Amino acid sequence: MHIVGKLVCIGVVATLTGCSTVKSWFGQDQRNVPAALVDFKSTMAVRSAWSSSIGSAKDFTFAPALSGNSLFVAAADGSVAKLDAATGRTVWRINAGMRLTAGVGSDGHTIAVVGEKGVIRAYDEQGTLLWKVQTTSEVLSAPAVGEALVIVRSVDNRISAFDSTTGVQRWTLQRSIPPLTLRAAPGIVIVDQNAYVALPGGKLVALALSNGGPIWEATVGDSRGTTELERMVDVSGLPAVLRDDVCAVSYQGSLACFDKKNGTQHWIKKLSSYVGIALDERFVFAADALGVANAYTRETGQSVWRNQKLANRRLSTPVSFGRAVAFGDAQGYIHFLSREDGSFLARFGTDGSSIINAPLIAGSNLIVQTQSGTVIAIATE
């Protein structure tokens, strides 16, 4: 993202004027200097297993999609590729014939990306075009693909599901749009015949895949303050789902966990974040808007540790990886922190450009895609 630094303004001209005024407040203030990298004794060996290049994300954000041993990646110039996740070998590479704004979503059979003005293009596992569909407006988050559906949320806050084989629209749901929202990419997760959708306005909704009907809706962050800017609360990144829990975090809101089946709130903590969170069997991990890495108990939300030594480094969505939790940053580093106490275990440098989405676990490797388009697999020893 320069997505972290931009806003979508919807409504009257006065709101649009306010949007241009606050653009510099997100990540461009010279007072928010990234913390210097601290010296520490590495206790985890990390190395590059392989690397490849797909192309720059430009002003958008792209995340790899993994299915079995196949890794699907895309870039803003329209490049889409299938890589062998174990070796990085390119199986095929095509061009969508248009600039892309989001991707990739895949279940291994259907590979979906989204282009300018909200055009979805879906390919089969050989890279052959299956269908293309025009949505109602721009799409910034990767399509969710699963259970024979491709689901997207466009910036007009419409959620639409298409048949993954034919592209026929199966259902659509329109939600209201708050006056001011982050120009970000809140995502969709498909689990157990439901879609869990992160929304502007601090809302998390569970939809039935069969017809798009809402099963429950929960509040991740309440709108507070006297101005539209102060009241702006958007769910960030992908909801995280594990067993009976679904958790999410919001900008200027909270981190909260809910019952996956009925939306009952388990716990909630005040936290503001631009990116998503990670769950494992014991912990919930999050990076706040100031670059502080946090761990909470999954059961009760009790704070376990905080690491403030990465302040203003614009940390990515984290991932729990063995005895570590890994965060990317705006300078292309991956920081491996102890799951137990947040201490530094290892650090790995990539190409110097931002890492925004969560690193992806593929077997024993951690895979990241940078904003400049480097796709790299990191092995630990």
Question: Which pair of tokens denotes residue 223?
Answer: 């709108």
| H or E element, residue 229 | helix 228-231
Mean pLDDT of 86-111: 97
Q: Within 13 Å, how many C-alpha atoms sit on residue 14's CB side?
A: 4
Indicate if the pLDDT at residue 273 is higher than 50: yes
Q: CA 210 from chain center: how many Å? A: 25
**Residue that wins the pLDDT comparison between 232 and 281:** 281
Distance CA 54, CA 363 (A): 21
At 7, the pLDDT band (50, 70, 90 cuts) reads very low
Per-residue model confidence (pLDDT) at position 176: 80
CA torsion sign for 331, 332, 333, 334 is positive
Per-residue model confidence (pLDDT) at position 179: 63
Three-class SS of residue 55?
Answer: coil
Parallel, antiparallel, or unpaired: how do β-strands 203-208 and 70-74 relate? unpaired
Residues 6+ apart with CB under 8 A from 2: 59
Question: Which pair of tokens denotes residue 144?
Answer: 């969710």
Q: Within 13 Å, how many C-alpha atoms sit on residue 323's CB side?
A: 11
**Cβ-contact 238, 187 below 8 angstroms:** yes
At 227, the pLDDT band (50, 70, 90 cuts) reads confident
According to DSSP, the residues that pair with 297 across neighbouring strands are 283
Mean pLDDT of 25-32: 51
Indicate if the pLDDT at residue 5 is higher than 70: no
Mean pLDDT of 238-253: 95
Question: 83-92, 181-190, 355-364: which has the minimum mean pLDDT?
Answer: 181-190
Per-residue model confidence (pLDDT) at position 211: 97
**Residue that wins the pLDDT comparison between 284 and 223:** 284
Parallel, antiparallel, or unpaired: how do β-strands 265-271 and 253-259 relate? antiparallel
Question: For the chain, how many residues are written?
Answer: 381
Mean pLDDT of 130-138: 96
Per-residue model confidence (pLDDT) at position 182: 64
At 181, the pLDDT band (50, 70, 90 cuts) reads low
Distance CA 196, CA 208 (A): 9
Indicate if the pLDDT at residue 36 is higher than 90: yes
Residues 344/381/108/195 CA torsion (nearest 10 deg): -30
Per-residue model confidence (pLDDT) at position 229: 75
Indicate if the pLDDT at residue 315 is higher than 50: yes
Indicate if the pLDDT at residue 9 is higher than 80: no
Indicate if the pLDDT at residue 96 is higher than 70: yes
Question: 153-157, 214-218, 263-267: which has the minimum mean pLDDT?
Answer: 153-157
According to DSSP, the residues that pair with 173 across neighbouring strands are 159
Indicate if the pLDDT at residue 17 is higher than 50: no
Mean pLDDT of 104-132: 97
At 175, the pLDDT band (50, 70, 90 cuts) reads confident
Question: 18-27, 200-209, 302-311: which has the minimum mean pLDDT?
Answer: 18-27
Per-residue model confidence (pLDDT) at position 232: 76
**Residue that wins the pLDDT comparison between 106 and 201:** 106
Residues 6+ apart with CB under 8 A from 40: 343, 344
- State the Rg of the chain over Cα: 19
DSSP assignment string, 14-34: HHHHHHHHHGGGTT--TTSPP
Distance CA 205, CA 222 (A): 15
Give the pTM.
0.90
Mean pLDDT of 372-380: 97
For the chain, the domain total comes to 1
Per-residue model confidence (pLDDT) at position 4: 38
CATH code of the domain containing 224: 2.130.10.10
CA distances from residue 194 to 10, 33, 260, 326 in whole angstroms, order as listed: 29, 41, 10, 28
Domain ranges, residue 64: 2-380
At 222, the pLDDT band (50, 70, 90 cuts) reads confident
**Residue that wins the pLDDT comparison between 30 and 367:** 367
Question: Which pair of tokens denotes residue 285?
Answer: 């991990």
Average pLDDT of every residue of the chain: 90
**Cβ-contact 325, 347 below 8 angstroms:** no
Per-residue model confidence (pLDDT) at position 365: 96
Alpha-helical (H) ranges within the chain are 13-22, 228-231
Mean pLDDT of 338-350: 98
